[in-house]
A and B are shown apart, each in its own frame.
Chain A
Amino acid sequence: MTNTPTTRMNMIQAINSAMDVMMDRDPAVIVMGEDVGYFGGVFRATAGLQAKYGKTRVFDTPITECGIIGVAVGMGAYGLRPVPEIQFADYIYPALDQLVSEAARLRYRSAGEFIAPITVRSPFGGGIFGGQTHSQSPEGIFTHVSGIKTVIPSTPYDAKGLLIAAIEDNDPTLFFEPKRIYNGPFDGHWDRPTQNWSQHPAGAVPEGYYKIPLGRANVVREGEALTILVYGTMVHVASAVVAEAGVDAEIIDLRTLVPLDIETIEASVKKTGRCMIIHEATRTGGFGAELSALVQERCFYHLEAPIERVTGFDTPYPHSLEWAYFPGPVRIGEALKKVMKD
C-alpha cells in the first residue's frame, strides 16, 4: 500500500506516527486533550508533536470532556480537523451529549451546511488491572448512535492506517485504542510473559502516509469450521485459543464496527455455518447482539448451531476478579467446544 520505508513500531508509536503524518500533510489537523501537549499524553501517544507543530496545533486542555468535544465540534465547524483525545474511554460519558446530540447529528440537522470532521481517540478495554474506570469498552453506546463511525484497531499497522483514514474522513469517528495491546499482542494468558510488537508481522509499519479504508474487515485467519467475529485485544486472544484448540476457525477482525463490513461476515458464516462473537464489553445490549442479529437474519439457513457470544459479564469491570471477568482462553475455549458440538 505504500512505498515508504518500514519501521518496527508498537501501537502507541504507530498512532503517534499517524498523527504526525496527518499534521504534516494538513494544517487543519490539530490535536488536543488532557496532558497531550508538553507531556505527550499519559500513554505517550502524542509525544513530540507539540515540539514539532507548536502549541496552537497540539495543546493541553482543561479537564472537561464535554468541553473538549464541544470545542472540537466548533473547531470542525470552522474548518479544522480536530483529533481530540479522551484520556480513558471510561471518561467519555461527560462528552456524550456533545457526541450524540451534536457531532453525530450536525451534518444531518444542517443538511450538510456544517460538519464535524473530528476523530476522538480514546484508550479502551481491560486486561490491565484497571478496575472499574480504566477498563471499560463502551463501543456499544456509540454504535447505537446514527451519524458516528466507530473504529477499533488490533495491530500497529492497522492502528496507523485506520487512524489516518479516520482523520481524513469527514464524519465524526470514535477511535478506540485497546490499551492492553499498546505494547504487544496479548493472548489472554495473563500469567505468562508478555510479548511485544517487535516480533509480530503487523509491528512493521510504514513511516509515511497510508490508510486502511474504514468499513473493511480483515480476515486474520481463513478457516472452514466456524466464523469468529472479533475486534481489538480479543483478536489476539481468539487467535491463540483457536491455535491451541486446533480448530479450523475463520477469524474476522472487524476493525470498523460502523460502518460494518457485512459482506465479509456474511460470506464467511455462509461458508462455515457456525458463528462465535467475542468482545470484552458487557453482554446485554452490546455490539455482539447486533452482530448476532445480523448473522441470524442473513445466514439463517446456513447456520448449523446457535450463534455463540463470549463477552464481559453484565457487571461493572472488577479489579481483583479481572481474569474471571475477562473473556479469556478458558471461557472462549468452552464456548468453542459448545458451538462445535453439533
Chain B
Amino acid sequence: MPSDHPGANLPPLSLYVPEPRFRPGDTVDFTQVALPPAGQARRPDTAEPAATFTDLAYDLIRVLDADGQAVGAWNPRLSPDTLRAMLRSMVTVRAFDERMFRAQRQGKTSFYMKCTGEEAVAVSAAFALDRDDMCFPSYRQQGLLVARGWSLIDMMNQIYSNKGDRLQGKQLPIMYSVRDASFFSISGNLTTQYPQAVGWAMASAAKGDTRIAAAWCGEGSTAEGDFHSACTFASVYRAPVIFNVVNNQWAISSFSGFAGAESTTFAARAIGYGIAGLRVDGNDALAVYAATAWAAERARTNQGPTLIEHFTYRVEGHSTSDDPGQYRSAGEASAWPLGDPITRLKDHLIAIGEWDEDAHAAQDKEVAETVRAAQREAEANGILGHGLHQPLDTLFDGVFEEMPWHLREQQAQMLAEETASGRPWARK
C-alpha cells in the first residue's frame, strides 16, 4: 500500500462482504425475521398509482393465521372446492418432485430440481391467472403445469428425454415448454424470460388482446441486468405483466444477502421503477392467490405491472447436483417461521370444516399412486441412456426453420460416421 498518497492519514476503508447468519452446524434462530400478523396488511384499490402503496413493498401480506383461519382484507374468499383443488395440486407437485428426484438418484435421468416448500408460489398463481395468460417461468415453477392440469406423463417424458419427449431430447430435464398450457419454453439462462414476458405483454396490449403475462425468477436472479431492463420496459409502457420474485433465501450456495436482501426487500425494487410492489407470505397459498389476482386485475385494467415478492424458503438443495449441507445449517428448513405451504392450506381447510386428516391421508395415497402410474407409463417410453429414443438425424432439426446446406452436410457426415463405427445406434 502506498503510504505517500494525499489521504494517507485517513482511516482505512473496509470492504463489507455479506455472510449468512447460519452455517453448517449452527443453531438456527429466525426470531429476527419480521412476521407481521395475518390480516394486517391493507388492500388498496388496484387502480391507485403505484406510489400510493409503497408500504406494501415492505410489509408482508398474510391471510392464514396461526389458527388456520383466513383473515383480513386480502382473504380471497375462495370456495372450498377451489381450496381443495389447490391443495391437491400442491400435494401432486410434491409427490412428483419426490418421484423424479428419486428417479435421478436411480440413474434414470441426469438432473432434477425440486420446489419443496415453494409449491404455493406457482400453484396459487396458476389458480389466480386465466389459463391463456402466458407464463414465463424459471425452472422452479412446475406447479404452474400441474395446476393447469398438464399431463404428468408428458412432463416425465421430458425429464427422461425419451421417445415421448415432445422436445426431442434437446433440453435438459425440467426445462419444459408447453405452449398448450401457456407455459413458455424454459431457458437455462437466468432472468432472460423477464424482458420476454414484458415483450409478450406489450404485444398483447398493442394488439388489443385481453391476455396478460406473468414472469418468475428467484431472488438471486434479480441481480441480472435483464431484471432491470424488464422493470424499465414494463414501467415505461405500463405493460400488463406480473413479475414474481421467489425469495427462497438461497441462490445455490449464496444467501439472499448477495442479491441485496440485507438492505431492502425485493418488492421494494418495484418502487424505483414506479411499479406496484407487493410482498407476500409465499407459504400462504391464499396470500399468493390474492396478490396474484390483485396484480392480474391491475394488469387487465391497463393500470400496469406489479412486482410480487414471495417470501419463502428453499427447503431442499438447489438441484440434484447440490448438497446444501455444505453451506447452510441443516436446521433451517424446519425452523423456517412461515411453515410449510401444504400443511398450512390443509390446516385451513380442516379449520373451516372442509377437510380432515383421513381425507388428506387418502389423497396423499391416491396422488402418490397417480404419480407412480404416470412414471410407469413414462418409463415405458424409455429412460435416459437406455437406447436411442430419438432418431440420430433429429439432432439437426429446428436449428432453423429449413435446414441449410451446412447442417445437411454435417447431418450426412454424422450418419456416415455412425454407420462406419458399427455402433448399434446407426442401424436404428
Q: Say yes or no for A190: interface residue by CB 8 A criterion.
A: no
Residues of B within 8 A of A110 (CB): 167, 177, 179, 185
Tell me if A74 and B196 are in contact (CB < 8 A).
yes
Q: Say yes or no for A241: interface residue by CB 8 A criterion.
A: no
Residues of B within 8 A of A253 (CB): none
Tell me if B170 and A109 are in contact (CB < 8 A).
yes
Q: Say yes or no for B229: interface residue by CB 8 A criterion.
A: yes
Residues of A within 8 A of B202 (CB): 71, 74-75
Q: Say yes or no for A64: interface residue by CB 8 A criterion.
A: yes
Tell me if B233 and A109 are in contact (CB < 8 A).
no
In the complex, chain A residues 51-66 whose Cβ is within 8 Å of any chain B Cβ: 56-57, 61-62, 64, 66
In the complex, chain A residues 63-119 whose Cβ is within 8 Å of any chain B Cβ: 64, 66-67, 69-80, 82, 94, 97-98, 101-102, 105-115
Question: Quick one: given A67-B195, A71-B195, A101-B189, are A111 and B167 in contact (CB under 8 Å)?
Answer: yes
Q: Say yes or no for A147: interface residue by CB 8 A criterion.
A: yes
Q: Say yes or no for B316: interface residue by CB 8 A criterion.
A: no
Tell me if A74 and B203 are in contact (CB < 8 A).
yes
Question: Quick one: given A56-B206, A101-B187, A102-B187, are A112 and B398 in contact (CB under 8 Å)?
Answer: yes
Q: Which residue of B lies closest to A62 (CB)?
A: B232
Q: Say yes or no for B288: interface residue by CB 8 A criterion.
A: no
Tell me if A70 and B400 are in contact (CB < 8 A).
no
Tell me if B192 and A102 are in contact (CB < 8 A).
yes
Name which of B18-26, B68-76, B401-409 contacts chain A: B401-409
Tell me if B199 and A70 are in contact (CB < 8 A).
yes
Q: Return the contact of A171 from the options B188, B228, B401 (Cβ within 8 A).
A: B401
Most chain B CB atoms below 10 A, which of A61, A78, A115, A215: A78
Instruction: Give the distance in Å from the alpha carbon of A240 to the alpha carbon of B346 in the complex.
Output: 80
Q: Say yes or no for A149: interface residue by CB 8 A criterion.
A: yes
Q: Say yes or no for B295: interface residue by CB 8 A criterion.
A: no
Question: Quick one: given A108-B170, A260-B406, are A67 and B230 in contact (CB under 8 Å)?
Answer: yes
Q: Say yes or no for A198: interface residue by CB 8 A criterion.
A: no
Instruction: Give the distance in Å from the alpha carbon of A171 to the alpha carbon of B134 in the complex.
Output: 22
Tell me if A75 and B199 are in contact (CB < 8 A).
yes
Tell me if B184 and A114 are in contact (CB < 8 A).
yes
Chain B 362-384 per-residue mask, 1 if CB under 8 angstroms from chain A, else 0: 00000000000000000000000
Main secondary structure of the interface of A (DSSP, over half): mixed
Instruction: Give the distance in Å from the alpha carbon of A97 to the alpha carbon of B185 in the complex.
Output: 16
Tell me if A262 and B406 are in contact (CB < 8 A).
yes
Q: Say yes or no for B171: interface residue by CB 8 A criterion.
A: yes
Most chain B CB atoms below 10 A, which of A113, A147, A170, A171: A113
Tell me if A62 and B401 are in contact (CB < 8 A).
no
Instruction: Give the A interface residue count (CB, 8 A).
Output: 48
Chain A 157-196 per-residue mask, 1 if CB under 8 angstroms from chain B, else 0: 0000000000001110000000000000000000000000
Q: Say yes or no for A284: interface residue by CB 8 A criterion.
A: no
Total A-B residue contacts, Cβ distance less than 8 Å:
148
In the complex, chain A residues 18-75 whose Cβ is within 8 Å of any chain B Cβ: 30, 56-57, 61-62, 64, 66-67, 69-75
Residues of B within 8 A of A66 (CB): 195, 225-226, 229
Q: Return the contact of A75 from the options B166, B185, B203 (Cβ within 8 A).
A: B203
Tell me if B204 and A70 are in contact (CB < 8 A).
no
Tell me if B184 and A77 are in contact (CB < 8 A).
yes
Q: Say yes or no for B175: interface residue by CB 8 A criterion.
A: yes
Instruction: Give the distance in Å from the alpha carbon of A69 to the alpha carbon of B213 in the complex.
Output: 17
Q: Say yes or no for B168: interface residue by CB 8 A criterion.
A: yes
Tell me if B179 and A113 are in contact (CB < 8 A).
yes
Q: Say yes or no for A259: interface residue by CB 8 A criterion.
A: yes
Tell me if A70 and B401 are in contact (CB < 8 A).
no
Tell me if A71 and B185 are in contact (CB < 8 A).
no
Q: Which residue of B lies closest to A148 (CB)?
A: B400
Q: Which residue of A lies closest to B409 (CB)?
A: A262
Residues of B within 8 A of A199 (CB): none
Tell me if B200 and A94 are in contact (CB < 8 A).
no
Residues of A within 8 A of B197 (CB): 74
Residues of A within 8 A of B85 (CB): none
Instruction: Give the distance in Å from the alpha carbon of A171 to the alpha carbon of B404 in the complex.
Output: 12
Q: Return the contact of B398 from the options A79, A82, A98, A107 (Cβ within 8 A).
A: A107
Q: Which residue of B lies closest to A94 (CB)?
A: B225
Instruction: Give the distance in Å from the alpha carbon of A298 to the alpha carbon of B369 in the complex.
Output: 60
Q: Return the contact of B189 from the options A69, A82, A97 (Cβ within 8 A).
A: A97
Q: Return the contact of A64 from the options B188, B199, B229 (Cβ within 8 A).
A: B229
Tell me if B399 and A108 are in contact (CB < 8 A).
yes
Q: Say yes or no for A146: interface residue by CB 8 A criterion.
A: yes
Nearest CB of B to A174, in Å: 14
Nearest CB of B to A110, in Å: 4
Nearest CB of B to A227, in Å: 19
Nearest CB of B to A289, in Å: 15
Instruction: Give the distance in Å from the alpha carbon of A75 to the alpha carbon of B134 in the complex.
Output: 12
Tell me if B196 and A77 are in contact (CB < 8 A).
yes
Nearest CB of A to B213, in Å: 8
Tell me if A171 and B200 are in contact (CB < 8 A).
no
Q: Say yes or no for B278: interface residue by CB 8 A criterion.
A: no
Tell me if B199 and A71 are in contact (CB < 8 A).
yes
Tell me if B405 and A113 are in contact (CB < 8 A).
no
Tell me if A109 and B167 are in contact (CB < 8 A).
yes
Q: Say yes or no for B359: interface residue by CB 8 A criterion.
A: no
Q: Say yes or no for B47: interface residue by CB 8 A criterion.
A: no
Question: Quick one: given A73-B196, A74-B197, A109-B167, are A262 and B232 in contact (CB under 8 Å)?
Answer: no
Tell me if A171 and B400 are in contact (CB < 8 A).
yes
Instruction: Give the distance in Å from the alpha carbon of A336 to the alpha carbon of B199 in the complex.
Output: 49
Q: Return the contact of B170 from the options A56, A61, A72, A111 (Cβ within 8 A).
A: A111
Tell me if B187 and A259 are in contact (CB < 8 A).
no
Tell me if B203 and A113 are in contact (CB < 8 A).
no
Tell me if A170 and B199 are in contact (CB < 8 A).
no
Tell me if A111 and B177 are in contact (CB < 8 A).
yes
In the complex, chain B residues 373-428 whose Cβ is within 8 Å of any chain A Cβ: 397-401, 404-406
Q: Which residue of B lies closest to A118 (CB)?
A: B199
Tell me if B399 and A101 are in contact (CB < 8 A).
no
Tell me if A111 and B168 are in contact (CB < 8 A).
yes
Instruction: Give the distance in Å from the alpha carbon of A164 to the alpha carbon of B14 in the complex.
Output: 57
Q: Which residue of B lies closest to A63 (CB)?
A: B232
Instruction: Give the distance in Å from the alpha carbon of A102 to the alpha carbon of B226 in the complex.
Output: 12
Question: Quick one: given A80-B203, A107-B398, A262-B406, are A70 and B192 in contact (CB under 8 Å)?
Answer: yes
What are 21 pairs between A and B in contact, CB < 8 Å? Answer: A56-B205, A64-B233, A67-B198, A67-B229, A70-B198, A70-B229, A74-B197, A77-B184, A77-B200, A78-B134, A101-B187, A101-B188, A102-B189, A102-B196, A107-B401, A109-B185, A110-B177, A111-B170, A113-B179, A114-B185, A147-B400
Given contacts A66-B225, A66-B226, A260-B406, 18 further A-B contacts (CB under 8 A): A64-B232, A67-B195, A69-B195, A70-B192, A70-B229, A73-B196, A75-B203, A77-B200, A82-B199, A97-B192, A101-B187, A101-B188, A102-B189, A109-B170, A109-B187, A111-B398, A115-B401, A262-B406
A-B pairs, 5 with minimum CB distance: A74-B199, A70-B195, A67-B229, A71-B199, A74-B196
